[in-house]
Amino acid sequence: MSTPPIEPSAYKEHRLHPLALRIMHWINAIAIFIMIGSGWKIYNDDVIFGFLHFPDSIVIGKWAQYGLQWHFFGMWIFVLNGLVYLSYGFATGRFRQRLFPISVREVLATAGDALRFRLSHDDLTHYNAVQKILYLGVMLIGILIVISGLALWKPVQFSELAGLFGSFQTIRLVHFLCMSAIVAFILIHVTLALLVPKSLVAMLTGGPVVNDGAAEIKATH
């Protein structure tokens, strides 16, 4: 049975990045900035890798205790904002529309274009396979960094979570690696935003007007 056509009245036009999404994006950016800077201060007090020490000029918090206070402050913003963002993405269907489907063929083709520096970012309304994987990946890493952070913060109260990692040192390593992955994502994200300035402008203004009905038709063909 064929799918009945979508009536023009059913089309819903809106900005590429609705206001609620833009607010959550910039709140998340502030929270991550606070968490990374304060996390580096906490790390410096008990390093994992002897060769790595973050300069005092880029950490947040004069003393370790101040670093912890800033970290908890950023953590609650990150967690609460993240829960709202995930709920919004699922409830509005944005994740389904923007991040799926992902085909192996598309991933290989897009990766090849990226390696040859031929990756196009002109169409802001469409994510290529590499972008889809990056966004999905960073969301999963965000969940993992929260889980490992809770296990570090309250290893007794969250003993079930701590038990998933084995030792306390493993939890610290996982938390650190998640932070490193998020920093790498930010560097890529910011670089692409600088290479394609209209993507940054779109996150400030909302970007072009898109049509959900048209997107649905395109997705089914």
Q: What is the pLDDT of residues 53-101, one digit of tens each?
A: 999 999 999 888 999 999 999 999 999 999 999 999 999 999 999 998 8
CB count within 10 Å of CB 52 equals 11
Per-residue confidence (pLDDT) for residue 219, from 0 to 100 = 42
Angle at 74 between CA 68 and CA 77, to 5 degrees: 145
E strand or H helix at 211: strand 209-211
Q: Which positions of the chain have pLDDT values less than 70?
A: 1-11, 114-122, 212-221
Of 165, 159, 123, give the one whose Cα is nearest residue 144.
165
In angstroms, the Cα distances linking 145 to 44, 140, 174, 207 are 18, 9, 8, 31
d(CA 219, CA 181): 31
Between helices 19-45 and 64-92, what is the axis angle to 10°? 150
Whole-prediction pTM value? 0.84
Percent of the chain with pLDDT strictly greater than 90: 62
| Bridge partners for 15 per DSSP | 209
Residue 13 φ then ψ, to 5°: -95, 140
To which residue do tokens 């709920």 refer? Answer: 87
First-to-last alpha carbon distance for the chain, in angstroms, is 16
DSSP assignment letter at 126:
-
Longest dimension (CA), the chain: 67
| pLDDT score for 212 | 64
